[in-house]
Amino acid sequence: MDKASAQSSFAQEFAQALLLEQVRFTKAQLLNSKNNNYLQQFIHQVYHQADKILLKDIIQLEQLQAVVQKYAFELNLGADILEFIGVIAQKIHHFAVHSQTQFNDLLSDESFELWLNKILELEQVRHYIKENLQDNPHVKHVSLQLANQILENNTPWLDHLRKVNVKAQGIGSKVIGFLQDQQHNIELKLEQQLAHALLKQIGHIILLPNEELAEISLHLWSDIKQRTLKETFSQLQSIDFEEFFILVYETWKELRQTKYMQQIILNVVEAFYSYFGEYTLQELLHSVGLNENDLYIEAMRFAPYSLNALEQHGLLDDIIQSLIAPFYLDELTHQFIENYLAEKA
């Protein structure tokens, strides 16, 4: 073997030895959970360099909107995730029906009153709702159904007459048929009048003075807040919870395809970019209450366990090597080593 070939072979072997040594060194640094200066220094450098980089310098508005379009408008959950949602819904129901937590533990009196006062301030909205109650055909249909149920539940003595099946053609049968027809007409008129009265009364309640509405609402809250989750949610089946979550997702899938909703979301993204585009990445972290120590704490919360798991499965060496091997396997690196050795010879 001539001298040039020997140098070339040595350069390749030397590069391979350096690769293995760097893999060993890097792995040792990453697995040093007691004093992980390697990870700490990496986070330190990233955090302080982030003070020099603006959001608009690393991402464009079009790129950000493209991400939102893909994951908000197009992404569909797979069967496994939908099944998981069902499992979670069942667990939430199971937890609720065994919980003695009261609603007042979840929503304080102060918070309820703040929300109540804010809602009562929206007087124009209440006027709008009241006006639409009178004219909306769907609301009228529901009020008729409610009126029908009220009449049926409160006139049990008329059930027998309602259900009599007239087959004969005698005078008695004709009298009963006549009475049934008249009863039906009377009940229909009563239902219509009762439905109209219900809508009128609801409209009246909606437009009550703020003080009266607040008093009514606080009275209702004083009763509701002492109820436990167990008392309330035991009235529901776990399947009701599951169907509710699935229904929310299916509704969102349909809603997100409307041009109006898509435009709203994209406008929000554009407003975010316009507002924070001049912020540095470090300032963005500060905006959500994070600093360098927070980043290190969270990294140390997950990294040691994950790295040890990779090591136990024999994967960590391959991952590290895949990141740095291209440099040591490159012919230019081998040529550099050859030239360096030649200069030192």
For residue range 247-270, list pLDDT tens digits in order.
889 999 999 999 999 999 999 999
Mean pLDDT value across residues 13-32: 91
Closest alpha carbon to 96 in 210, 244, 202, 197: 244
pLDDT at residue 215, as a whole number: 92
pLDDT at residue 180, as a whole number: 52
User: What are the tokens at 154?
Assistant: 């409160």
Whether the per-residue pLDDT at 168 is higher than 50: the answer is no
pLDDT at residue 69, as a whole number: 94
Note the pLDDT tens digit of each residue in 299-317: 888 888 999 999 999 999 9
pLDDT at residue 311, as a whole number: 93
H-state helical runs in 137-237: 137-154, 159-163, 171-206, 210-224, 229-233
d(CA 67, CA 61) in angstroms, rounded, equals: 10
pLDDT at residue 345, as a whole number: 67
Whether the per-residue pLDDT at 162 is higher than 70: the answer is no
The set of long-range contacts for 179-183, using a CB threshold of 8 Å and a minimum separation of 24, is: 183/158
Mean pLDDT value across residues 32-56: 86
Least confident segment among 165-169, 304-308, 332-336:
165-169
- Listed ranges 125-134, 224-233, 334-343; the one with the highest mean pLDDT: 224-233
d(CA 174, CA 166) in angstroms, rounded, equals: 8
CB-CB contact of 203 with 134 (8 Å): yes
Whether the per-residue pLDDT at 186 is higher than 70: the answer is no
